[in-house]
Copies of this chain bind each other. A is one copy, B any other.
Amino acid sequence: MISTMVQRIREVLVFLFLALVSKANGVKPIFSWGVGLPFEEAAGEAYCLSWRLAVETNNVRGWRTVPTKCLCHIENYMIGGQYTRDVELIVEQIMSYANGILLSGDGMDAWIFDVDDTCISNLLYYKGKRYGCDPYDSVAFKAWAIKGGCPAIPAVQQVFVTLVEMGFKVFLVTGRDEETLGLPTTQNLHDQGFVGYERLVLRTIANKGQSAVTYKSGVRKQIEGEGYRIWGNVGDQWTDLQGDCLGNRTFKIPNPMYFVP
C-alpha cells in the first residue's frame, strides 16, 4: 500500500513538472495527444493508440517490431504511469474474481502465471531496444535474463502472494530454457518475492521448437491431468491465453513491446 502511494506521489510530481515545463518552454507535453500537437504528430499518436489497442486485443498478430513512429508513444505508455495503472486495474479484477471462488480444500485449486513481463519485468532491457522498435535479439536477451535482475511487477507480485495465501497452487509457466536459464530465473523470482509457488515450469529439450501455444497448452494439460482445476491464467501474450486447458478465466497483462509466436 505504501509503495503504491509513494509511486502515485512520484507520478504526480513528474506530472506537474512536465506540465510546468511544457507550459513554460512550449515543449510538447508527453501526456497529451491531439490538441497542442502539430496535426501530423496528433495523427501519429492516434495511429499508435489504434495499433496498441489492436495488439492488446489480438487483432494484430505475428508482428516483429513496434512501428518506429510509435517509439515515443510506447515509451510514454510504459513509463508515464498508464501501463502501471492498466496492470493495477487488471489485478483488481483478478482479486474480485478470486474472492468469489469457493476453494475446495483438497489443494487442487490452481492458478497459472506466465513469467516474463507478467511476474517480472523486462522493461529495463527493452528500453535499450527502443521499447521493441529494434528486432528481437535472442543473444542479448539471454545475456540479460541470465543476470537475474528483472524487477517484479509490483501489483502482480502482490496478487501472487495473496493467491498463495488464499490456498491456490500457483504454477509459473515460462518459455525460458530450463538448461541455461533455470537457475537464474528461480533466483530472480525468489529475490523479487515470488515465493511459495507450487512449480516453475521451463522449456526443456522435449519442448524445443514448439510454438508457445503448443508448449503452454501441453503444460496446462499435464497440470489438469494431475487433477488440478485451473481457475485463472495470467499472461502478457495471447499465446499464453490460447490453446487447450485455458483455465476458467484468462487475464491479459498489457505488453506493446514484443510478440511471442
A132 within 8 A of B: no
Instruction: Identify which of B33, B36, B46, B56 contacts A53 (C-beta below 8 A).
Output: B56
Contact, CB under 8 Å: A254 / B35? no
Interface string of A37-51 (1 = CB under 8 A from B): 001001000110111
Classify chain A: how many residues form its interface, as a range.
35 or more
Q: How far is the CA of A31 from the CA of B31 in the complex (A)?
A: 12
Question: Does A93 belong to the interface (CB within 8 Å)?
Answer: yes
Q: Are A50 and B251 in contact (CB under 8 A)?
A: no
Most buried by B among A39, A57, A88: A57
Q: How far apart sit A173 and B118, CA to CA, in the bound complex (Å)?
A: 36
Contact A58 B19 (CB under 8 A): no
Contact A35:B54 (CB < 8 A) given known A81-B46, A93-B59: no
Structural contact, B22 and A35, CB atoms closer than 8 A: yes
Nearest B residue (CB) for A88: B50
Residue from A19, A31, A82, A252 whose CB has the most chain B CB atoms within 10 Å: A31
Contacts of A59 in B (CB 8 A): 89-90, 93, 251-252
A184 within 8 A of B: no
A3 to chain B, nearest CB (A): 18
Q: What per-residue 1/0 map shows which CB atoms of A13-42 lie under 8 Å from chain B?
A: 001001100100000010111111001001
| Count of identical protomers in the assembly | 2
Could you tell me if B39 and A85 are in contact, using CB atoms closer than 8 angstroms? Answer: no
Q: Are A31 and B33 in contact (CB under 8 A)?
A: yes
- Residues of A bordering B, CB below 8 Å: 12, 15, 18-19, 22, 29, 31-36, 39, 42, 46-47, 49-51, 53-54, 56-61, 81-82, 85-86, 88-90, 93, 249-252, 254
11 inter-chain pairs at a CB distance below 8 angstroms, sorted by A residue, are A29-B36, A31-B34, A32-B32, A33-B33, A46-B81, A46-B82, A53-B56, A57-B57, A58-B250, A58-B252, A60-B93
- Distance A241 CA – B243 CA, assembled complex (angstroms): 14
For A58, the chain B residues whose CB sits under 8 A away are 250, 252
CB distance from A193 to the nearest CB of B (A): 23
Give the residues in chain B near A32, CB-CB below 8 Å.
Answer: 32-36
A89 nearest in chain B by CB position: B50
Q: A54–B32 Cα gap in the complex (Å)?
A: 21
- B60–A39 CB distance below 8 A: no
Instruction: Write out the residue numbers on chain B whose beta carbons fall within 8 Å of the beta carbon of A22.
Output: 35
